[in-house]
Chains A and B, each alone.
Chain A
Amino acid sequence: MRTWFPYPLLSITLLVMWLLLNQSLAPGSILIGLVLGMVLGWVTLKLHPARSHLQRIGRAAGFALEVVADIVRSNIAVASIILRSGRVPAIAGFLTVDLDLEDENALALLACILTATPGTAWLEYDRRRKTLLFHVLDLQNEEVWLQTVRRYEAALKEIFQ
């Protein structure tokens, strides 16, 4: 079974997603879903993804809500900056912060969150020095951004340890 489906959870998720997207339980859809799950499972195997273990699912849900709230808040902030930018030019700049995350997937998730949030953009992570270089649109309160990244880092550490 493992040779056909190296990542059973991924294959099942893909199958369920395919059936929900097609909204049918016809044998043809199930067959295509199974083939899809199998082939993408093999592709994933070739990519050698780093395995990590989620520890606290409840904490992860809380963290997701926190991130959604941050995204809403920064949406409003960035919208107002853009609308005002004709008169008041935005004070943007680079910031560096030391990160202490080991887990590859946690780093990837942090990159996604930081870039998905308007107002912050992930630029470069130096593996050797463990520093992250990122760009913020509103540099007026530098300390707030650093605190936000540290808050994310602490939460991800808790979830991915």
Chain B
Amino acid sequence: MSHLTDLPSWAAIGVCGLLLLGAAITLIGSLGLLRLSNFYERLHAPTIATSGGTILICLASMLCFAVLQSRWIFHELLIIFFVTVTTPVTLALLGQAALYRDRFEEKNGVPRKHRPAGGNETD
């Protein structure tokens, strides 16, 4: 931690700003999980943390270590890439599971599955 004092003040302000903004966005995403009323709406809340929050926090880290020149900034790019690519898979799976359950329970407000005439549907 001691070498962080080598950071010039303009970079420190930038890093702080990005970190705080990223943390705030992640907090808003978590708040969304608490506030939004049904499952499909809550599906949108984590993506705000994984896209905006992760990118901003990684940018802060990139800026910090690029200025300090102590490490390659490649790790953060990989983190952004993998988080952005893998989260949608989980969320799409959760969404489909919820849709399947709601259709099975015949809840209102859920779009029906279109059944083709005379075909056994397999998903």
Contact = CB atoms under 8 A, between A and B. Distances in A.
Nearest to A138: B44
Q: Which of under 10, 10 to 19, 20 to 34, or 35 or more describes the interface residues of A?
A: 35 or more
A78 B32 contact: yes
Nearest to B39: A135
Interface string B27-42: 0110110011110110
B61 interface: no
Specify which of A20, A89, A121, A122 lies most central, judged by the most chain B CB atoms within 10 Å of its CB: A121
Consensus secondary structure, chain A interface: mixed
B111 A94 contact: yes
B74 to A, nearest CB: 5
B72 to A, nearest CB: 6
B99 A124 contact: yes
A128 B121 CA distance: 10
Q: Which of under 10, 10 to 19, 20 to 34, or 35 or more describes the interface residues of B?
A: 35 or more
Given A20-B72, A94-B111, A128-B116, A82 B35 contact: yes
Given A118-B47, A118-B51, A82 B92 contact: no
A115 B48 contact: no
Given A133-B111, A135-B43, A112 B88 contact: yes
Contacts, number: 110
B79 to A, nearest CB: 11
Contact of B48 (A17, A78, A133): A78
Interface of B: 25, 28-29, 31-32, 35-38, 40-41, 43-45, 47-48, 50-52, 71-72, 74-75, 78, 84-85, 87-89, 91-92, 95-96, 99, 110-111, 114, 116, 119
Nearest first, the 4 A-B pairs at minimum CB distance are A115-B88, A82-B32, A75-B52, A118-B48
24 contacts: A23-B72, A71-B52, A72-B52, A78-B45, A78-B48, A79-B25, A79-B52, A82-B32, A82-B35, A83-B31, A90-B36, A111-B88, A114-B88, A115-B88, A115-B92, A116-B50, A118-B47, A118-B51, A120-B44, A121-B91, A129-B114, A133-B111, A135-B43, A137-B44
